[in-house]
Amino acid sequence: MGDLKKFARYFRPYKKSLAVGVLCIFLSVVFGLLVPLYVGRAVDDLRADVTWRKITGYALTILGVSAVSGVFLFLQRRVLIGMSRHVEYDLRQDFFAHLQRLPVSFFHEHRTGDLMARATNDLAAVRQLAGPMVMYTMQTLFVVLIVLPLMLRINIRLTLLLFVTMPLVSLTVKFFGQQVHVRFEKIQEFFSRISARAQENFSGVRVVRAYAQEGPEIAAFKQLNREYADRNLHLVRISAVMRPLIQFLIGLGQVLILWYGGLLAIRGAITPGEFVELNLYLMRLIWPLIALGYVANLYQRGRASLKRMNAIFAVEPSIDDRPGVSARPDIRGRIEFRGLTFAYGEHSPAVLRDINLTIEAGQTVAFVGRTGSGKSTLMNLMPRITEAPSGMVFVDGVDVREYPLAQLRGAIGYVPQETFLFSETLAENVAFGVERAGRAEVEWAAEIAGLAEDVRGFPEGFDTLVGERGITLSGGQKQRTAIARAVMRQPRILILDDSLSAVDTYTEEKILAQLRGVMRERTSLIVSHRISTVRDADLICVLEEGRVVERGTHGELLAHGGEYAALYERQLLEEELAAS
């Protein structure tokens, strides 16, 4: 029930719509139940004296109340189903916004296909709770509450016959409803597996084709698809048994009433009109009672899906604004690491150890070291993509935790190791993160990143669609697009994490020459494996096993003859071998 209580808050903004919808249901039921009343009266009245005036009067009255009932039936559907779409919209917005706040580690642990299934398939099932289930539940409730007193008014014993089969209907709904809940929850989990498998194949289509695995992948997907279909068929069989069984039990009650009611009519205990009226009331009860099975189905499906969505909502963002944090003066770009020691888990080994480093605003600092030495981790701590321990990372003398995330990240232009582009145009990818970006600014950023010449060769220029994850671009073009995106923001702090690895040395030198003008005006942090990328930096730090083991300018480090000098010698030798 906790899941349903959380879901109930989505109805608060639409209390008026809910009230109006329920009122329309009530009025539709009331006017609809006037039809049996007038038909019963007509039967008794016309037995005594049949005239065209009476026939016309009763016909117009029945037609009128049916029309009014139909109008309120239309309104109830329009209001309540419309409300359910608004609830769906709010829930989808909250789900997406919540995912945006979750840490990167969460997405390492949860497959994209699974999250997509919860955001689409599960959300659609939850919407049924807000619309159709509310509508049919209230409709059933009003019909039962109004019809039973009307039937009791005609004959108590006859009405009580309904309770011979009513408990059986309730037990049937309860039993099959539980079966639906268990099976539907497993079906949704399996649908997540299918979605994840499809998403991974679409994203990794190049690898699949390169290894000629189309056939095995199709066969594997076919097996998953067949199992998903079989699970759904099991659910269909339950629904196929439930509804006819409910109809049979209701029909059994109807037979009892027809039999006993007929005897009472023959004996004169009730009039023929009352007998007809009572049977029409019974007919009005049939659909709501059958709808109980449908409502139980919707409820169990919706509850299973709501449980899966709430499992994601229950994950607390580990990186968020602290309570009471407010905007600070504009960031200038002075960075300090004070005794920084960092590990990814409480029981994990430290990735960074006792780093003490001050980077003045406007300074360019480079970080080199072997793979796994902690360079990217250090970069991720700046924009709080990974959370640093309190009191260890500072910007302008303020702990990064004391900045609002929007302000801190808004002052940083970050090009990560793994380049990601959106399925939009080149211009939209370059302008990502900038509210108002003109074409001139986009072209300027592209020129700085060394991308402009490539763009001029594209038939659509900056309006070229790059495809999912930039699949239509080369590795170097993707990296340069990412650099242009960072430069476009004109940030106070620029972070380039091995962002020139996919370009050749000539292109790298050209890009760096254009970037130097930009980097002079802001604090720049550069991570690279190439000495050529970092040699002009104001300060170069060499990381080894999470520690800064050497620091200095290019010339100072070469003169020192340590790890940096050895790396420089190895790269010179590699270049000579490549040239020979």
Secondary structure E strands in 352-418: 352-359, 364-369, 393-395, 398-399, 412-415
Q: Three-state SS across 233-245? A: HHHHHHHHHHHHH
The CB-based long-range contact list for 223-232 (8 Å cut-off, 24+ gap) reads 224/190, 224/193, 224/194, 224/197, 225/194, 227/190, 228/187, 228/190, 228/191, 228/194, 231/183, 231/186, 231/187, 231/190, 232/187
Residues 499 and 447 in one domain: no
393 with 485, same domain: the answer is no
Give the pLDDT confidence score for residue 534 in this predicted structure.
85
My answer on whether 97 and 150 are in the same domain is: yes
Alpha helix (H) residue ranges in 102-161 = 104-109, 112-117, 123-130, 132-154, 156-160
Q: State how far the Cα of 162 lies from the Cα of 254, in Å rounded to an integer.
A: 8
Give yes or no for residue 496 having a pLDDT over 70. yes
pLDDT in tens, 142-196: 988 898 888 888 888 877 877 777 777 767 777 776 777 678 778 877 887 888 7
Looking at residue 580, its pLDDT comes to 59
Find where tokens 């580990």 sit.
318
Q: Averaged over 373-377, what is the pLDDT?
A: 88
pLDDT digits (tens, 9 = 90+) for 108-121: 788 877 888 888 88
Is the domain of 402 the same as that of 482?
no
Which has more confidence, 425 or 247?
Answer: 425
Which of 490, 520, 544 is the C-terminal boundary of a domain? 490
User: What's the pLDDT score for residue 394?
Assistant: 93
Domain membership of residue 20 (yes or no) is no
Q: Does residue 543 sit within a domain?
A: yes
User: In this structure, how many other beta carbons lie within 10 angstroms of the beta carbon of residue 200?
Assistant: 16
Q: Which of 24, 224, 257 is nearest to 139 (CA)?
A: 24
Model confidence at 2, pLDDT cuts 50, 70, 90, reads low
Q: What is the pLDDT of residue 72?
A: 94
CB 481 within 8 A of CB 473: yes
**Residue range(s) defining the domain that contains residue 479:** 418-490
Do 349 and 287 fall into the same domain? no
Between CA 30 and CA 143 the distance in angstroms is: 8
- The domain that holds 437 is classified in CATH as 3.40.50.300
Question: Is the same domain home to 450 and 465?
Answer: yes
Q: Is a pLDDT exceeding 90 seen at residue 57? A: no
Q: Are 147 and 284 in contact (CB under 8 A)?
A: yes
Report whether 571 contacts 531 (CB < 8 A): yes
Cα 119 to the chain's mean position, in Å? 4
What is the average pLDDT across 272-276?
81
**Is the pTM here over 0.85, yes or no?**
no
pLDDT value for 210: 67
Does any domain span residue 377? yes
Note whether 96 and 218 are same-domain residues: yes
> Tell me: the pLDDT tens digits for 567-580?
888 887 776 776 65
- If one counts the domains in the chain, the total is 3
Q: Of 71, 57, 89, which is closest to residue 27 (Cα–Cα)?
A: 71
Question: Residue 21's pLDDT is what?
Answer: 93
Flag whether 335 is in a domain.
yes
Mark whether 401 and 475 lie in a shared domain: no
Do 428 and 405 share a domain, yes or no? Answer: no
- CB–CB of 90/10 below 8 Å? yes
pLDDT of residue 1: 57
CA angle, 240 as apex, 236 and 245 as ends, to 5°? 150
